[in-house]
A and B are shown apart, each in its own frame.
Chain A
Amino acid sequence: MDGSSLKSAQLLELMHQHLATDAGKELTKKVGLVYQLNVAPKKIGVDEEIFVVDLKKGEVTKGPYQGKPDATFSFTDNDFLGIATGKTNPQIAFIRGAIKIKGSISAAQKFTPDIFPKPAKL
């Protein structure tokens, strides 16, 4: 995940580490889906960086998913951060158009703040 200036990249790095732990393994059992995230710095669709949060295998990788993800999200760096930290309600964000979703809606509904580990503050 190096070379990215997105804040989301740092969070996803944390997520990657987290998935190797017991709690992370619990997550894969609980959710078991593959999400693709298209994160843009400022405006949706512009200069996107693509990440795959694979909650089946339990890893986070960079680049489009080889295969069909269960749901694909497109949002900005700040909006993804908002969702991951619980600041933004994903449903409200969707209604506002801050998130674009493709794929299975039921899969998308499981994309909630609680699946993301939180960063500790120095």
Chain B
Amino acid sequence: MALRHLVTGQNNCAPDGASSSNPLNALANAFLGQSSKAQSIKELPGSVSVPSTSDFSAPAPLSNIPGSENEFKQEQRPIVQGAEFIHGGPANDWIGSFRPPMVPELGGLEAEFDRIYKNTGTTFQPPLDGPPQRVLSGVLHSFLTSGPSGVPFQPLPVPAALGLSESDKQCIRDRSCIMARHIFSDQPEEYIQAQVNTLLHSLDIDNRMRGPMHGQYPELEQYWNQSQSSMGPAPMHNAADKWITEFGKQNNNPENWANSFEQQYGPNGWASEFEQHQSQMAMGQMGGANMANLAAMEQSRMLAQTLASNNDPKFQLSQGADKWVSEFSSQHNPGALNENWVDEFSKLNVTDEWAEEFSGGGFGESSADPWVDEFQEHLSSFKQSSGTSRGVYVFSENNPYVGHPNPMQEGQELFRKGLLSEAVLALEAEVLKNPDNAEGWRLLGVTHAENDDDQQAIAAMMRALEANPTNLEVLLALGVSHTNELEQGEALRYLYRWLQNHPKYGGLVPPQSTDSPYGPDVVRLFNEAAQMSPEDASVHIVLGVLYNLSREYDKAIASFKTALQLKPHDYSLWNKLGATQANSIQSADAILAYQQALDLKPNYVRAWANMGISYANQGLYEDSIRYYVRAVAMNPKADNAWQYLRISLSNASRADMIAACDARNLDALQKEFPL
């Protein structure tokens, strides 16, 4: 149902107003048939010199608006035609409220308007000057209040200096369409359209049906019909309700919509808007929540597509950091509806550098667009609050193990066999089925770490911690992964918690728990624990990791060696020893340790990658290539290893294979560099 049809087709209403209202038609006639203006003026009962548009060009606020002046005049014409059919319900109010703005110069004309058009009730007069944001919010606010009060929104000439960017306009357009449907849910479709158009014209937004609108309409229709027709709670009812009440708790200020729209064009502002109209919209809410998300999704998709299609190197959207997206959504949408949105977004491969490109970089120091600055602020605040590894787990797509009768067992089996990537899939299926399975999450984390993916390992371990907050193995694993990610503070915190939660050594820890433990203190405590039970390998292991953090590598090596005496078959321990040695530039020793680890566990991707690193750091690039290739062959998702492989290829003057590397062509690489 396109606007076009409404506007151009089915002209059932005769201009003489014999039929009931079709305000949209009137609007259409105004746009299309300007020549009929004179005719309609004649038909107006009584002498009316009012709608002569020349009078309106006089007032200052109107005359200096480039395009909107004409539009404003056009708005006035339907009034003329409408005057004839002032009798219908909505039309009455609608026409009646077509007041010109409170401009002093119009004093005399206004009185006339009052006489001719029965003005029902007061309407909100938004301030038309002042900072653009204020004006914008005022206009939007009046649009909203026009709903409940039954008085249709009035068109307002707004200074073009509102400075709405294209994306803003698109934003507003999409949202207003959706909002209108809710506010005027009892009105016919054409009425809604008219209102929306009025709003958009006031803001000088083009309401041409561009791409997103087309795509949106069928879905909107569908959702709308669903919400209208279903009697009982729709399937999304609970989710939407919960989501909305959550936002309701956060935003109780009734003015918040206007303010938040000013501040945030993201889903947050949109949601508080819903909170405000909660009482009015019963069924509409459910559909609305979906629509809002759809709208946001559509806009974002359009924006991202626009950027992606631009071939300028500035706009290269590199892959990989869909973590940004997950992070963004998890921070902004605490409710239940974010799953789909996150998946959709992550498919777009939007990078967290995107916003930086937009605001800074090639465009100059600062962005003229306040939206982008806001965005940039949000992004940097995310980085601050989680300047550490982001903790949102990313599930694989097309998981063949979903639906498996016993994925946990399958996962454990695969892990034992050393098929790490397969084990990941099976374990993901398990935790999808049972999100509280602490052991499932823990094993998933371990598998990721062995597969050389600390980011996912951390995410999985965090979930395991949620399910079981005192599991020592999880705490240690988190300490190790954070150490690998060079996040010393976090690592220290988890290792400290390991001690606190230990049944035996917990007593050593002073009662007041600290959020940022002091490194040397923690080390001292662990040494006490080691003295308490010298046979406890785990204490030595943690000590080893701690000494890595403090860069006392000799002590770390000593601790690991002690632990190895107690547990000589722990492949992960050999790897830790090797890594410590490598980081203290004893690469030759490191390689021996890694070899031990690999003898114990041949599919230990991390150890293969570490091998490559040790060779590369010694300048033995050709050798390093083989090990890297082996690592990525076992785990094609090991991004670190791919990057290092590329570096080694260029150092070894094998630029011929760089293309294969970039294409991640495993066959070619394995053929060329066998072990």
Minimum CB–CB distance from B575 to chain A (whole Å) comes to 7
Flag whether B256 is at the interface (Cβ < 8 A): no
Given A10-B486, A17-B585: A122 in contact with B548 (beta carbons within 8 A): yes
Separation of A78 and B650 alpha carbons in the complex (Å): 23
Interface string of A89-107 (1 = CB under 8 A from B): 0001001111000000000
Instruction: Tell me if A121 and B643 are in contact (CB < 8 A).
Output: no
Separation of A43 and B384 alpha carbons in the complex (Å): 11
Flag whether A7 is at the interface (Cβ < 8 A): yes
Instruction: Tell me if A121 and B606 are in contact (CB < 8 A).
Output: yes
**CB nearest neighbor in A for B313:** A95
Stretch of A19-27, A31-39, A51-59, A64-72 lying at the B interface? A19-27
Minimum CB–CB distance from B144 to chain A (whole Å) comes to 38
Minimum CB–CB distance from A24 to chain B (whole Å) comes to 9
Flag whether A87 is at the interface (Cβ < 8 A): yes
B residues within 8 A CB of A21? 585, 587, 618
Instruction: Tell me if B576 and A92 are in contact (CB < 8 A).
Output: no
Instruction: Tell me if B584 and A18 are in contact (CB < 8 A).
Output: no
Instruction: Tell me if B380 and A122 are in contact (CB < 8 A).
Output: no
Interface string of B479-510 (1 = CB under 8 A from A): 01001111111000000000000000000000
B residues within 8 A CB of A95? 313-314, 361-362
Given A5-B488, A5-B489: A120 in contact with B483 (beta carbons within 8 A): no
Instruction: Tell me if A26 and B619 are in contact (CB < 8 A).
Output: yes
Minimum CB–CB distance from A84 to chain B (whole Å) comes to 10
Flag whether B651 is at the interface (Cβ < 8 A): yes
Flag whether A118 is at the interface (Cβ < 8 A): yes
A residues within 8 A CB of B582? 120
Minimum CB–CB distance from B669 to chain A (whole Å) comes to 16
Residue of B480, B489, B618 with most partner-chain A CB within 10 A:
B618
Interface string of B502-525 (1 = CB under 8 A from A): 000000000000000000000000
Flag whether A50 is at the interface (Cβ < 8 A): no
B residues within 8 A CB of A10? 486, 488
Flag whether A47 is at the interface (Cβ < 8 A): no
Flag whether B287 is at the interface (Cβ < 8 A): no
Separation of A35 and B320 alpha carbons in the complex (Å): 30
A residues within 8 A CB of B361? 95-98
Flag whether A11 is at the interface (Cβ < 8 A): yes
Instruction: Tell me if B480 and A23 are in contact (CB < 8 A).
Output: no
Flag whether B579 is at the interface (Cβ < 8 A): yes
Stretch of B97-105, B182-190, B240-248, B609-617 lying at the A interface? B609-617
A residues within 8 A CB of B640? 85
Instruction: Tell me if B583 and A14 are in contact (CB < 8 A).
Output: yes
Flag whether B445 is at the interface (Cβ < 8 A): no
- The count of A-to-B residue pairs whose CB atoms sit within 8 angstroms is 101
Instruction: Tell me if B617 and A98 are in contact (CB < 8 A).
Output: no
Minimum CB–CB distance from A74 to chain B (whole Å) comes to 13
Instruction: Tell me if B551 and A114 are in contact (CB < 8 A).
Output: no
Minimum CB–CB distance from A120 to chain B (whole Å) comes to 4
Q: Which of B574-603 contact A (CB under 8 A)?
A: 575-576, 578-580, 582-585, 587, 590
**CB nearest neighbor in B for A97:** B361
- Residue of A20, A97, A118 touching B616 (CB-CB under 8 A): A118
Instruction: Tell me if B480 and A122 are in contact (CB < 8 A).
Output: yes
Given A10-B486, A114-B651, A120-B610: A22 in contact with B576 (beta carbons within 8 A): no
**CB nearest neighbor in A for B618:** A23
Residue of A43, A95, A97, A98 with most partner-chain B CB within 10 A:
A97
Minimum CB–CB distance from B513 to chain A (whole Å) comes to 21
Instruction: Tell me if B619 and A23 are in contact (CB < 8 A).
Output: yes
Instruction: Tell me if A7 and B585 are in contact (CB < 8 A).
Output: no
- Residue of A13, A43, A86, A122 touching B575 (CB-CB under 8 A): A122
Stretch of B52-60, B134-142, B352-360, B408-416 lying at the A interface? B352-360
Instruction: Tell me if A43 and B619 are in contact (CB < 8 A).
Output: no
B residues within 8 A CB of A97? 356-357, 360-362
**CB nearest neighbor in A for B544:** A122
Q: Which of B43-91 contact A (CB under 8 A)?
A: none
Separation of A121 and B450 alpha carbons in the complex (Å): 10
**CB nearest neighbor in A for B352:** A78
A residues within 8 A CB of B384? 42
Interface string of B236-267 (1 = CB under 8 A from A): 00000000000000000000000000000000
Interface string of B641-665 (1 = CB under 8 A from A): 0011011001100000000000000
B residues within 8 A CB of A14? 583, 585
29 A–B pairs (Cβ distance < 8 Å), ordered by A: A5-B488, A5-B489, A7-B485, A10-B486, A17-B584, A21-B585, A22-B618, A23-B617, A23-B618, A42-B380, A42-B384, A43-B380, A85-B640, A86-B643, A87-B643, A95-B313, A96-B353, A96-B357, A96-B361, A97-B357, A97-B361, A113-B643, A118-B613, A119-B613, A120-B613, A121-B579, A122-B483, A122-B576, A122-B580
Q: Which 6 A-B pairs have the closest CB atoms?
A: A97-B361, A120-B582, A86-B643, A120-B579, A7-B486, A23-B619
- 19 additional contacts (CB under 8 A) given A96-B353, A120-B610: A5-B488, A5-B489, A14-B585, A18-B585, A23-B617, A41-B387, A42-B380, A81-B486, A86-B644, A95-B361, A98-B356, A118-B616, A118-B644, A120-B579, A120-B613, A121-B579, A121-B609, A122-B484, A122-B579
